[in-house]
Amino acid sequence: MKKLSVGAWFTLCAAILAILAFVMYTVNVNGEGYYKAAAVANLPLAVWGAVACLVCAVVLHIVADNKAIEILGGLLRIAAPALLGYALMNLIGGRVDGLGYIYFSNADVAREVQTAANLGSAQTAIWSMAVLGVATLVAVVAAFFTMRKKAKA
């Protein structure tokens, strides 16, 4: 682990944030409120694919002893933010109508819709979007850093 640089740590941090965002999404879908049982298509596949890419990239750079494996690890670090961004766009697309309905309905509808369960569900959806967005940004930043510390001469 001592030969890992800041890029590897950012990559692992992005993986942890992506897992956290997925847990929040799962709570949102399984909890009470407006989004109960409202799963977003392809989101689990994209998030877990990105996590797998990030973890595999770190592992490949730890054990890499030739240039081809390092290139593969670099490609995985590029694919992960794309998958996370795809998951984020799907999550936003699947939740934006409901958020508009909950927060911006007229006064008569708002009294019926703005229950504690629905507002809690909306807040969880917003937080999962925010954490997934941060995970995407951290994965993008991580791709610009090297994964292994340079050997001292």
Who contacts 23 (Cβ-Cβ below 8 Å, separation ≥6)? none
pLDDT for position 123: 95
- What residues are paired with 96 via a beta bridge? none
Domain total in the chain: 1
Q: Cα(101)–Cα(76) distance, rounded to whole angstroms?
A: 38
Is residue 133 a part of any domain in this protein? yes
pLDDT at 150: 67
User: What domain range is 88 assigned to?
Assistant: 6-142
Q: How far apart are CA 86 and CA 144, in angstroms?
A: 20
Q: What pLDDT, on the 0 to 100 scale, is given for residue 68?
A: 86
The predicted structure's pLDDT at residue 122: 93
User: Which pLDDT score is estimated for 105?
Assistant: 84
Query: Is residue 103 assigned to a domain?
Result: yes
153 domain residue, yes or no: no
> Given this model, what pLDDT does residue 2 score?
61
Question: Average pLDDT of each block of 10 consecutive residues along the chain (153 residues)?
Answer: 79 96 95 90 95 93 82 91 96 93 86 89 95 97 83 61
Q: What are phi and psi of 135, to 5 degrees?
A: -60, -40
Residue 77 is predicted with a pLDDT of 92
**Is residue 110 situated within a structural domain?**
yes
Helix or strand run (H / E) with residue 92: helix 67-104
Given this model, what pLDDT does residue 110 score?
82
Does 147 map to a domain?
A: no
Yes or no: say if 4 and 58 are a contact pair by the CB < 8 Å rule: yes
Q: Is residue 40 part of a domain?
A: yes
Asked if the structure places residue 62 within a domain, the reply is yes
Please state whether 66 falls in left (phi above 0), alpha (psi between -120 and 50) or beta. Answer: beta
Within a domain: residue 152?
A: no
